[in-house]
Chain A
Amino acid sequence: MRGSQSDDIDVAEVFRTEMPYVARVLRYFGVPDPDLADVCQEVFVVVHRKLGEFEHRSAIRTWLFRISQRTASDYRKRAHVRREVPEAEPQRGLVDDGDAAAERAALRRRLVELLDQLDEEKRTVFVLFEIEELDMKEVADIVGCPLQTAYSRLHAARRLLKEALATSERGVA
């Protein structure tokens, strides 16, 4: 993966190219749009603080996701205390890019709604594997659990999502 090869990575460029991916992963981790800028910034503050610890054993994105995961986790704890329900999000895409963007945003909200039913451990594994398409070893590394545990979380997440989907379909019918 690009970004992992160099011992001469330009920090600014890393921020620039990786920010969209950090934003995406945070969204699917459950950070609502109104708080996304703040949480993104926290991620990059930590990134900056820990630059010196980055050892190139993993791709830089993997490293960023690890920080993102922890930051999102902290956020969720705070958000839980601060308010029961995160603010409602706007119904349309943020940028008026036309129907495609609105459609993408609608599908995202639907997936986030389903993911909200998972606990944090399962959600993290599911998002990193299914959306960010990391290798399971990287996923296990990020969440800091044995590989087998990561697998069982993934399978549990899948099972629960199937159930959640079935329930919501029944609800609609």
Chain B
Amino acid sequence: MSQNPGRWSDASSDAPAELGVLLRNAKHDVPSQRELAALGIVVPASVGAGTAATAAKAKLGASAAKGGVAASVSKVTAVTVLTVVVGASLYAAYSGDEPQRGDPPARDLALPRETVAIPPVVTVPVTPATLDVQEPSTEAREVPSAAASASLAKPSAELPLLQQARRALGRDPGQALSLVRRHEREFPRGKYVQEREVIRIEALRRLGQGDEANRRSEDFKRRFPGSAHESTVDREGP
């Protein structure tokens, strides 16, 4: 409805040339997982496995606004634990698909790299006490840590598989690629097809298969016009 003015990153805009260049660069400047890791921003965390399942089960639901789910979500009281909890749930998702069925918490701790740094000075303008924490349905707390991986793996092994692929990108793009292919076989009509293709393209680039990556990238843009991932797959190869 609203009419947007032309954007300065468009080559045809009347932006000063340098700003056009800077803005086009910025559009492609979505940090990779490696760069995020280098910045200390890592989503999967290893702490707080005990509450992992809370987050693992947390859904953003339409009903959430009405307070049902909201209560159980906000029940995760300790503020600093929250991010960590999500990380743990991710880890739970991830480990659900691991071939070796080890002891999840132990493996957790063996991955210090994955720990989200809690800021030394948490100046988050939030105190647990101010949260609208009604006593929730028991749902939020009933889940012990051991249940975490099971509860997530069941609804979908799709996500864990892709997370595994994504993690492999940095150290072993070949493995990432083979996990992507496995995802394609097992979930040809999955929920995360776009994510799969993004990982595939990145893996191909890292393997030096720039032509194939570019072909896939073009293909991606045709299949998913306007995708939020467009600028990611668009990044030119080395």
List A residues at the B interface (Cβ < 8 Å).
Answer: 1-3, 6-17, 19-21, 23-24, 27-28, 33, 36-38, 40-42, 44-46, 48-49, 51-56, 60-61, 74, 78, 93-95, 97-98, 100-101, 104, 107-108, 110-111, 114, 129-131, 133, 135-137, 147, 151, 154, 158, 161-162, 165
Contact = CB atoms under 8 A, between A and B. Distances in A.
B228 interface: yes
B27 A95 contact: no
Contacts, number: 208
Given A12-B89, A95-B34, A49 B82 contact: yes
B38 A98 contact: no
A21 B28 CA distance: 11
A52 B32 contact: no
A92 B63 CA distance: 47
Contact of A104 (B29, B228, B238): B29
Contacts of A74: 123, 125
B159 to A, nearest CB: 6
B30 A3 contact: no
A53 B7 contact: no
A144 B57 CA distance: 32
B124 A8 contact: no
B86 A95 contact: no
Contact of A147 (B2, B65, B90): B2
Given A114-B19, A165-B16, 7 more contacts: A52-B74, A98-B238, A104-B25, A107-B21, A107-B22, A107-B29, A147-B2
